[in-house]
Amino acid sequence: MKYIVAGIVIACCGAVVLGAAAQRTEKPVLHGQEWVAITGKPLAATAGALVFAKGGNAVDAACAMLGAVCTMYDVLSWGGETQALIYNPKTGKVIGLNALGVAPTGATAEFYRSKGYAFPPEHGPLSAVTPGTPGGLLTMLAEFGTMSLAEVLGPALRLAEGYPMDKETSDRIEKDKAKIKDWPYSKAVLLPRLGEEREAPRPGEVFRQPDLLATLNKMVEAEREALAAGRDRRAAIYAAYDRFYKGDIAREFVRGSKEQGGLITLDDLAAWKVRLEEPVMTAYKGIEVYKLTCWVQGPVMLQALNMLETIDLKSLGHNSAAYIHTLYQVMNLAFADRDFYYGDPYFPPQEPIAGLLSKAYARDRAKLIRPDRNDDAVKPGDPYPYEGKTNPFLGYLETWLGWGRGEAAALGPAEAAEVEEAFRRGTTSIQAADKEGWVVSVTPSGGWVPCVIAGRTGVGMSQRAQSFVLDERQNPFNVIAPGKRPRATLTPGLALKDGRPYLSFAVQGGDTQDQNLLQFFLNMVEFGMSVQEACEAPNINSYQMHDSFADHKIFPGKLDVNVKVQAEVRDRLKAMGYVLSVKKYTSGPINAIFFDRAHGTFWGGSSNYGEDYGIAW
């Protein structure tokens, strides 16, 4: 592999190394000693700060921010899904929280094919899995928080009463109002100005959600009644959980879903449960990097790090043609494995995750990198021998390259923009840490605008079923079935150094998430950037993986580069077979916390575009 890298360097001589330490940032670093709260909306970051100010820990603050961003439709709502990594200072362990919903009763591949679908639909009630975020929030709070549900939902309740609408969400609602009008409860909530030229809430207008407010109050009421009956804090929070998934909230959710053509049943809600699980980990130059396992795309970053550990990245130079080419090729290999081998580990067949994360497998995969040009024929590998097994699906790989391939060079500007928007489909991220040592990294999503609101609950339903496939030849681990989780893109990150928190990091952006987080991590570890510099640094984005949404297309060679990448580097990349899109912002948006052990302080970083915002103390 070293000889391949040397060949790349020679072929791409003249590459520029970024002077990381000298880079100026558009936003300042957040310095804190007591706590840090960062998320996708300023009001939601304030919700976290309010809870910290009342004595809550990082889990309490993260739950408050989660409730706030769901209420504000920060590319998600209450019926979506929540994924988290939590560092518990009492045990020194990282815990994974799996609050991804499942396909409902009747959601079979045969059902969708009978309706003419190649994949589950992008929008509407048939794209819904069971809501996961309420259960995820309640479980985090009950198991690891210190406060009551009433306390942490206080900011969300105020926001549901009414908050001044931001322009980003207002514009999104207006853009998608034609779809929203198909669903009566969504129309009633999201389009308060029906018949006017602009029917969405206007920026600065107070946006009210009385049905959602009633739902949140019912959850708080269930907690209050349980406490009055003598139950402890944890049991009282789970009383709210039961009211959402088994009580009157569940009944109205199911009624409203079925009225609009959905499949979710009361049994589906009652049977679903949050899972606390052990995350997967790899060590990169002594740093332990933790991700959620293969029900999301998190292991992709670990696979990429295992391959990159065999390469002298510093010698290539940050964002040189050699560096960009190497990252792109490594990501091709890792994402090809994701597209074929990742799925719900609680359903058969069993994913070969041990083989995929084997260092030996990574070394052998890295040997496939072409030094001179992009390889548009990368296929999934065979990880089974690396865990002493035989691959039962090798036959599918013979024809695997034949599905979903788009022609990047043939895309016009409008088509390219549509493809890019689909691959970068957003969510939000939440980062919280406190002086006691609790750290929380969350990437919640689902129920984004345009969503179907389920009856009078005020709860927008998830659209995550579209991430399933219907044909097992495409991915035998991710075929839709009742009770099964789709393989999602959502992927928080957490890293330990010498057994203590080093970095907490997450990003929005669909299939670009682990691409951006990989580069963020390397920016800090290999190129010595500060956390804010690493959040803002120019990234690349690849489209040489199957889109996890809608039509699951793949565009080999399509590459986003930043305007700061020099013209001669772009020219070399074009000569190597890449089709470039040049953009002003390619860095995320990333939110992160660096733990300064030398001084006992936090450094917070937050994206320099969008509405992501952090507060520290």
Q: Taking 70 as the threshold, does the pLDDT of residue 20 lie above it?
A: no
What secondary structure letter does DSSP report for 21?
G
224, part of any domain? yes
Query: pLDDT value at position 21?
Result: 40
Average pLDDT over residues 204-231: 98
Average pLDDT over residues 463-481: 98
Q: Cα 136 to chain center, whole Å?
A: 15
532, part of any domain? no
Which value, to the nearest 10 degrees, does the dihedral of the CA atoms of residues 351, 356, 361, 365 take? 110
User: φ and ψ at 229, to 5 degrees?
Assistant: -85, 5
Q: Taking 60 as the threshold, does the pLDDT of residue 2 lie above it?
A: no
User: What share of the chain in percent tops pLDDT 90?
Assistant: 91
Average pLDDT over residues 363-373: 95
294, part of any domain? no
Q: How sure is the predictor about 7, in pLDDT bands with cuts at 50, 70 and 90? A: very low
237, part of any domain? yes
Contact assessment for residue 580 and residue 559, using Cβ atoms and an 8 Å cutoff: yes
Query: pLDDT value at position 228?
Result: 98
Amino acid at 479: V
Query: pLDDT value at position 336?
Result: 98
459, part of any domain? yes
Q: Taking 80 as the threshold, does the pLDDT of residue 13 lie above it?
A: no
Contact assessment for residue 295 and residue 278, using Cβ atoms and an 8 Å cutoff: no
Token digits for 150?
A: 């009433």
User: What share of the chain in percent tops pLDDT 70?
Assistant: 96
Q: Taking 80 as the threshold, does the pLDDT of residue 14 lie above it?
A: no
254, part of any domain? yes
Q: How sure is the predictor about 129, in pLDDT bands with cuts at 50, 70 and 90? A: very high
Query: pLDDT value at position 23?
Result: 63
- The H or E element spanning position 236 is helix 233-246
Query: pLDDT value at position 461?
Result: 98
User: φ and ψ at 91, to 5 degrees?
Assistant: -110, -15
478, part of any domain? no
What secondary structure letter does DSSP report for 366?
H
Q: Taking 80 as the threshold, does the pLDDT of residue 269 lie above it?
A: yes
As for how many domains the chain has, the answer is 1
173, part of any domain? yes
HEC string for 111-156: HHHHCCCCCCCCCCHHHCCCCCHHHHHHHHHHHHCCCCHHHHCHHH
> What range defines the domain where residue 248 resides?
53-82+101-272+435-467
d(CA 522, CA 514) in angstroms, rounded, equals 12
Token digits for 248?
A: 């009157």
Query: pLDDT value at position 377?
Result: 95
Q: Output the CA torsion sign for 125, 131, 134, 136.
A: negative
Q: Taking 80 as the threshold, does the pLDDT of residue 6 lie above it?
A: no
Q: How sure is the predictor about 375, in pLDDT bands with cuts at 50, 70 and 90? A: very high
- CB count in 10 Å sphere of residue 115: 9
Query: pLDDT value at position 417?
Result: 86
Average pLDDT for the chain: 94
Q: What is the pLDDT of residues 132-169, one digit of tens each?
A: 999 999 999 999 999 999 999 999 999 999 999 999 99
Is 111 or 585 the better-scoring residue by pLDDT? 111
Token digits for 206?
A: 């107070």
Amino acid at 560: D
Q: At what angle do helices 42-53 and 58-71 cross, to 10 degrees?
A: 150
Greatest C-alpha distance within the chain: 74
Q: What is the pLDDT of residues 305-339, one digit of tens each?
A: 999 999 999 999 999 999 999 999 999 999 999 99
Query: pLDDT value at position 19?
Result: 41
Report the DSSP pairing between strands 93-99 and 275-277.
Answer: antiparallel
Query: pLDDT value at position 5?
Result: 39
d(CA 611, CA 471) in angstroms, rounded, equals 39
Mention every residue, 6+ apart, whose C-beta is less than 8 A from residue 547.
404, 419, 422, 423, 510, 511, 553, 554
Q: How sure is the predictor about 4, in pLDDT bands with cuts at 50, 70 and 90? A: very low
Q: What is the pLDDT of residues 168-190, one digit of tens each?
A: 999 999 999 999 999 999 999 99
Query: pLDDT value at position 422?
Result: 81
Contact assessment for residue 47 and residue 156, using Cβ atoms and an 8 Å cutoff: yes
